[in-house]
Amino acid sequence: MKPATDALIVIDVQNDFCPGGALAVAGGDEIIARINGLMGAFATVVLTQDWHPADHASFAANHPGAAPFSLTQMPYGPQVLWPTHCVQGTKGAEFHPDLRTDPAQLIVRKGFRAGIDSYSAFFENDRTTATGLEGYLKNRGVTSVTLVGLATDYCVAYSALDAARLGFKATVLEGAARAIDLNGSLAEARDKMRAAGVALEE
């Protein structure tokens, strides 16, 4: 068992991010067995779930003429326009059926505000609207977080960077995560995580 001060944060292991899904990450389902195996070692297990309304501003379909994966400007900065994914109440938004969900004490749903995207488990993309996860972990005495899931270069990296910024010791298990790698985004995310003091382990 890990110390009680350590938490496992499992990022967005949902059908739409796995092969066959609307925004599939290559090999996204290959990490599930390892993630399931990790859960028993942590006293605190948190799952995050992308949970968008159908009219979400980050969906290319809601911007006439815009192509998926193009960039637009939002009030909070540049935003990738994604294929429609993880719409509330749809099969795509559900956790992958092979993922163990019983060990989780908390499920954080993010991205449910139509006007703002949310990659991080801790903050929406304006960097100020909090999900409440920081308070939950600190109230439980957690000082160290291990992050796994999808995708390494977006939601996992943003969560790890915020964890480090909030004073948690943060580790990303790259072998239990998979990346989208959009235009070099994986290398950029790894550089940012290392610079912030996030430990990258296999």
Helix axes 157-165 and 185-195, enclosed angle (nearest 10): 20
Q: Is 37 exposed, middle or buried (0-12, 13-18, 19+ CB in 10 A)?
A: exposed
Clarify whether 55 is annotated catalytic. no
| Catalytic residue from among 110, 117, 153, 162 | 110
Nearest of 135, 139, 143, 151 to residue 10 by alpha carbon:
151
| Catalytic residue from among 16, 86, 117, 155 | 155
Per the listing, tokens 């092979």 go with: 98
| Catalytic residue from among 12, 16, 117, 162 | 12
Clarify whether 18 is annotated catalytic. no
Clarify whether 155 is annotated catalytic. yes
Catalytic residues: 12, 110, 155
